[in-house]
Structure 1
Amino acid sequence: MRFDGDKVDEIKIAYIGGGSRGWAWRLMSDLSLEQSLSGTVYLYDIDYEAAKTNETIGNNLKSQWFYTAVNNIESALKDANFVIISILPGTFNEMASDVHTPEKYGIYQSVGDTTGPGGLFRALRTIPIFVEFANKIKEYCPDAWVINYTNPMALCVRTLYNTFPKIKAFGCCHEVFSTQNLIVKAAKEIEDIECSREDIKTNVLGINHFTWIDKATYKDIDLIPIYEKFVDKYFDTGYEGEVSWQSSYTSSANKVKFDLFKKYRIIAAAGDRHLTEFVPQLGYLENPETVKKWKFHLTPVSWRIKNREELIKKSQKMAKGEENFKISPSGEEGVKQIKALVGLGDLITNVNLPNYGQIKGIEKNIVVETNAYFTKDRISPVISGELPDTVNILLAPHIINQKMIIEATIKKDKDLALHALLNDPMVRKLTYNDAKKLFDEMFENTKEYLKNW
């Protein structure tokens, strides 16, 4: 990197999963808008042609960044300053098994990538890949900052640290941002307070996709009582804002979030689709009809396949100049984090890191989601306090599984992986025999990635 006053040039970013048609495009847009940073993004992907297409799209922007696709990870990582990881572990065939095989046993998952049977098997495929990433980073760019967007987030980040303890890695998720925006809307509607997400301060604590906010303020105004009035107002109908929950598989009316606030008196800070999978005992996922009543969606893999096909066509059109790339802020904070880490201003935002003591009541090294302070070449977790016991009870099986799943994968221990499935709240309604049948069927469906177990 080269420092030039209030600019930093010649930054090298290695993008693992550089053929991405989502995260990569968001990064390109945000990098183009940030004039204080420039350099080269090396795009590595097992789908080299997808990375080449993104190379063309990125360079067509004629920004201060140059994009180059490489066909080996070593070239991307060598002497990189930053590493970004956003991959799909496996194919949509394995994902279809993750999400839909449990439905034969009455288990419905709205996402299936973090917890539940789907989260488990996605993790079994993903952890060995991240072991390899960590070892490559240790060899080729040990001082790089590593930003992970891949799910299951907590297990990916923990694997990086378990494999290379000195790694400088953290995980980013935008779920909390959406909840902060909801608090901002509550402030406007209930008290006519004009503010933005960046204007409010929230205390974030929990684990990824099962994150909570116990304090929220704007200047000297406590926003929790205002949020409570907002919940009371929209508890029965839900709150959709300008967009109907029915318009997209990833949308909801926040009814689950409101119900959790009523039950636990603390703001659940993730989307309804993710929250429900951690607490199946509360009845949000009983069946598709129940899901509709709570106004969120079971996201089918068939939709993801169709969406991918549309994005492939879109990428080809943009590469050929037949469709314009629309540069606009993505709402993500990866570029803001890079800017802070190279010394161009400080930042406080929520990230996923091992627990060094920032959350009381959760054991050390469990990957938790809290606020952290970003400054030049340093990230310091913000002490966030402790969740109520009533919420910690809900977290407990998922925290135990975070350890058990990694151990099972590293040891290739099929029996231990089965016990992790049995411990998951989604599976507890099954008999042991049915749970074992489900496990064996899902294992068979993803065996291509589970060799030598």
Structure 2
Amino acid sequence: MKKGLKIVTIGGGSSYTPELIEGFIKRCEELPLSEIWLVDIEEGKEKLNIVGNLAKRMVKKAGLDIDVHLTLDRREALKDADFVTTQLRVGLLDARIKDESIPLSHGIIGQETNGAGGLFKALRTVPVVLDIVKDIQELCPNAWLINFTNPTGIITEAVFRYTNFKNYIGLCNVPIGMRNGIAKEFEVEHERIHMDFAGLNHMVYGLNVSLDGIDVTEEAIEKFTNSKISMQNIKAIDFNPEFVKALGVIPCPYHRYYYKSKEMLEEELHEFSKGKARGQVVKELEDQLFELYKDENLDVKPPQLEKRGGAYYSDAACNLISSIYNDKGDIQVVNTLNNGAIRDFKDDQSVEVSSVITKNGPKPLSIGYLPEAVHGLVSEIKSFELLAAKAAVYGDYDTALLALSINPLIPSDDTAKVLLDEMLEAHKEYLPQFNR
């Protein structure tokens, strides 16, 4: 007889894990955990042990009766799990650095979830997540899989399109960061701000903003244009105020790669000329964090973690798990099947949208059509996601080439082919489906 919930985190050696543990500790009264299993691979063993021991110290400090297990055996961990979270990086940070550096060496934006970098992260990651899904269906078929591995949109598309697993939700911290940023501009607690979100992962827009239930959308757009709302990993280059006002919705930080392509590329090339891709900066931050985590007197999440660029991710996951377990019916922004929520997309396509969270999963809110001004770009990225998911599952070269060629960050089909060939070679160790 189980005494409480069993939660498994795949990629447990991640630097984000302390935030996840903190989130579970904070919610101990509404989320009765008895077991947390942190799973990683052989290459991540050292980090798993460091962060796992910190997790044990945090749980002990909180005085909670939760067993924290560390393992390299995923199947052992998954047996009878209630919730599974995934926060993995296939190829580790070295692969990310290639995703960013190779496009930049050709004068193209190098970003880990957009353009060529995003495609290759998906090609490496989708098969691994589908393997995890297969294990879940066998070992804990009623468990919910909460994925915050990027690129979440493409992974969500692949899971729903190429498996029959329904207990899946994709999660991103961008909408939380946007809402909190707007709350800060209004100088109010973030709980008082409500925003409707609709679009795709890293291509999502804030549509309607209310403060204490009163519509303040126009004022919010104005405050947004005068702010520096962004993320740690994205340069806060200003959007043109007249443009955002005309757009009538609030873009997300990643939209800078599409609406400010020239400026973002110049910024990236400037850093690249000094020998720095973002992945290298992250690697240095990670090294510093793990040095902190080694300290046997540390038994809380260190504030330095927020510099890492993924703040709120783990907290969002804990929130989502609690809402499913407690059937809260609150509204959260998730990646799920459209089912009529955004009329620009088919029902069986995945979207990122405000949804009511129940014990049976998310129920997307009906948004209607996206504004005409954003419909074209979002539809273009959806086509890219569909092709990327298909290429990742089948290891199909032509589909991968087509995906890259139609991506708005790639200037020509010839450039797409050069990038595809070079990156397939650079990542071949992690792309067995292309090497059959």
- Shorter chain as normaliser: what TM range? 0.7 to 0.9
Q: After the TM superposition, which residues 296-315 of structure 1 pair with which residues of structure 2 at under 5 Å, given as runs?
A: 300-315=278-293
Cα distance in 2 for partners of 1:434, 1:177 equals 35
Cα distance in 2 for partners of 1:91, 1:32 equals 28
- For residue 34 of structure 1, the aligned residue among 10, 27, 30 is 27
Change (3 A) 1:258 1:313: farther
1:55 aligns with 2:44: no
Task: Tell me by how many angstroms 1:311 deviates.
Answer: 2.1
Change (3 A) 1:50 1:286: closer
Change (3 A) 1:253 1:444: closer
Tell me the percent identity. 25
1:105 aligns with 2:106: yes
Task: Tell me by how many angstroms 1:299 deviates.
Answer: 5.4
- For residue 408 of structure 1, the aligned residue among 368, 378, 391 is 391
- What is the match of residue 349 of structure 2? 366
- For residue 337 of structure 1, the aligned residue among 305, 320, 326 is 320
- What is the match of residue 176 of structure 2? 177
Cα distance in 2 for partners of 1:55, 1:220 equals 42
- For residue 262 of structure 2, the aligned residue among 280, 283, 289 is 283
Letter paired with 1:338: I
Contact 1:121 1:442 in 2 (8 A): yes
Letter paired with 2:47: A
Q: After the TM superposition, which residues 60-99 of structure 1 pair with which residues of structure 2 at under 5 Å, given as runs?
A: 60-61=57-58, 62=60, 63=62, 64=64, 65-99=66-100
Task: Tell me by how many angstroms 1:139 deviates.
Answer: 0.8
SS in 2 for 1:373: strand
SS in 2 for 1:68: strand
My pick for the range that moved more, 378-387 or 199-208, is: 378-387
1:213 aligns with 2:212: no
User: Which segments of 5 or more consecutive residues in structure 1 lack a partner in the other structure?
Assistant: 3-8, 189-194, 293-297
- For residue 368 of structure 2, the aligned residue among 385, 410, 424 is 385
- What is the match of residue 420 of structure 2? 439
Cα distance in 1 for partners of 2:417, 2:222 equals 46
Cα distance in 2 for partners of 1:354, 1:239 equals 32
Q: After the TM superposition, which residues 217-296 of structure 1 pair with which residues of structure 2 at under 5 Å, given as runs?
A: 217-231=210-224, 234=226, 238-239=227-228, 250=233, 252-253=235-236, 255-256=238-239, 258=241, 261-268=244-251, 270-271=252-253, 274-279=254-259, 283-288=262-267
After superposition, the CA RMSD in angstroms is 2.6
Contact 1:19 1:54 in 2 (8 A): yes
Q: After the TM superposition, which residues 316-335 of structure 1 pair with which residues of structure 2 at under 5 Å, given as runs?
A: 316-317=294-295, 320-321=296-297, 323-326=298-301, 331=312, 332-335=315-318
Q: Which deviations, in whole Å up to 9, do the C-alpha atoms of 1:200-257 show, x marking residues without a partner? A: 221110001111112111234221121243256x2xxx537xxxx8xx9536546238
Cα distance in 2 for partners of 1:239, 1:154 equals 25
Cα distance in 1 for partners of 2:93, 2:182 equals 35
- What is the match of residue 200 of structure 1? 193
Cα distance in 2 for partners of 1:443, 1:400 equals 21
Contact 2:109 2:115 in 1 (8 A): no
- For residue 45 of structure 1, the aligned residue among 30, 33, 40 is 40
SS in 2 for 1:120: helix
Letter paired with 1:13: I
My pick for the range that moved more, 117-126 or 196-205, is: 196-205
Q: Which deviations, in whole Å up to 9, do the C-alpha atoms of 1:321-362 show, x marking residues without a partner? A: 3x3424899742222222222226442111111211111111
Task: Tell me by how many angstroms 1:315 deviates.
Answer: 2.1
SS in 1 for 2:345: coil
Q: Which deviations, in whole Å up to 9, do the C-alpha atoms of 1:95-123 show, x marking residues without a partner? A: 222101111221123xx222201001111
Cα distance in 1 for partners of 2:6, 2:242 equals 45
1:137 aligns with 2:136: yes
Cα distance in 1 for partners of 2:122, 2:214 equals 42
Contact 1:260 1:267 in 2 (8 A): no
Cα distance in 1 for partners of 2:224, 2:190 equals 18
My pick for the range that moved more, 169-178 or 298-307, is: 298-307
Cα distance in 2 for partners of 1:257, 1:156 equals 32
Task: Tell me by how many angstroms 1:286 deviates.
Answer: 4.0
- What is the match of residue 121 of structure 2? 122
Q: How many residues align?
A: 414
Change (3 A) 1:299 1:208: farther
Cα distance in 2 for partners of 1:167, 1:86 equals 19
Cα distance in 2 for partners of 1:183, 1:308 equals 29
My pick for the range that moved more, 363-372 or 373-382, is: 373-382
SS in 2 for 1:41: strand
Contact 1:155 1:402 in 2 (8 A): yes
Please give the TM-score of this superposition, normalised by the length of structure 2.
Answer: 0.87
SS in 1 for 2:264: coil
Q: Which deviations, in whole Å up to 9, do the C-alpha atoms of 1:273-328 show, x marking residues without a partner? A: x2223446x53434128999xxxxx95222122122112212222xx33x342489
SS in 1 for 2:334: strand
1:15 aligns with 2:16: no
Q: Which deviations, in whole Å up to 9, do the C-alpha atoms of 1:131-174 show, x marking residues without a partner? A: 11111111111111111110001111222223432331111111
Letter paired with 2:382: I
